[in-house]
Chain A
Amino acid sequence: SYELTQPLSVSVALGQPATITCGGDSVGLQSVHWYQQRPGQAPVLVINRNSNRPSGIPERFSGSKSSDTATLTISSAQIGDEADYYCQVWVNYRAVFGTGTKVTVL
C-alpha cells in the first residue's frame, strides 16, 4: 500500500521560512498536491501538481519535489498560516493523503 510520511509538527517564528516534507515511494512516480486545513474548515488546495500555485494562493507558498520527497515551503510564515497541511497523490482514482503536519507560528 502507498504511504506518505510527514513530520507531525513544525514550529516557525513569525516571518521566517517553514518547510514541510512529504516522503514515500509514490512521491517520485506521481504529482504531489498540498492542502491547508484550518480548524473547523474544509481543506484548501495550496499547491497543485508539485509546484503550481492555484489562483488566490499567496506567493509565499511554493512546492518542489525530488526523487522521493516533496516539500512545501512557506517563505515568510504569517499567523494566518497556522493550520494542518497534507500532501496527497493519486493512484488511479485512489487518493493517498499524507499523515499531516501541524504548523505553529510563534
Chain B
Amino acid sequence: EVSFLASGGGLVQRGGSLRLSCAASGFSFSTHAMSWVRQAPGKGLEWVSSISGSATTSDYADSVMGRFTISRDNAKSILYLQMNSLTAEDTAIYHCAAFYRGSGIDYWGQGTLVTVSS
C-alpha cells in the first residue's frame, strides 16, 4: 500500500524558513518523478516544484523560484522542500506527489500545512 508521511510544516513568521519532508513507501520511489503541489485555503491546486527520479532535473513555479529548493534521497525514499523567505502567499497545504513523466499523478500525500504569519 502506498503511503506518505509528511512533516516539517507549521507556523512560521514572514521571512522565515521551513524544510518539508515527505517519506514515501509502497512504490518504486526512485523510478518516479516527484512534485510538491500546494493548495491555499479555499483555493485550487498550484504546482510548486518537480524533480526527476534521478534528481538530475528540477523545475520551480515562478512564484517560488530562487526561494524554494527541491531535493530527494532515493536511498531513504524521502522528498524534501527547503522553503526560504516565506511570505503570507506561501500559506497552504503542501502535498507531495509521485508520477511517471507525461502521465497523471498516481500517488498523492495528504499534505502538511504551512502557515506564514505577517
Chain A interface SS verdict (over half): strand
Instruction: Kindly report which residue of chain B lies nearest to residue A95, judged by CB atoms.
Output: B47
- Shortest CB distance A16–B (Å): 25
Q: A93-B101, A94-B59 are in contact. Are A43 and B45 (CB under 8 A)?
A: yes
Instruction: Kindly report which residue of chain A lies nearest to residue B58, judged by CB atoms.
Output: A93
Chain B interface SS verdict (over half): strand
Q: How many residues of A contact B (CB 8 A)?
A: 27
Binary per-residue interface labels of chain A (77-106) against chain B in the complex, 1 for a CB within 8 Å, 0 otherwise: 000000010101010111111111000000
B50 touches A95 (CB 8 A): yes
A43 touches B44 (CB 8 A): no
Q: How many residues of B contact A (CB 8 A)?
A: 25
A45 touches B106 (CB 8 A): yes
Chosen A-B contacts, 20 in total, with CB atoms closer than 8 Å, are A31-B102, A33-B105, A43-B45, A43-B95, A43-B108, A47-B104, A48-B104, A49-B103, A49-B104, A54-B106, A90-B102, A93-B50, A94-B47, A94-B59, A95-B35, A97-B37, A97-B46, A98-B44, A100-B44, A100-B45
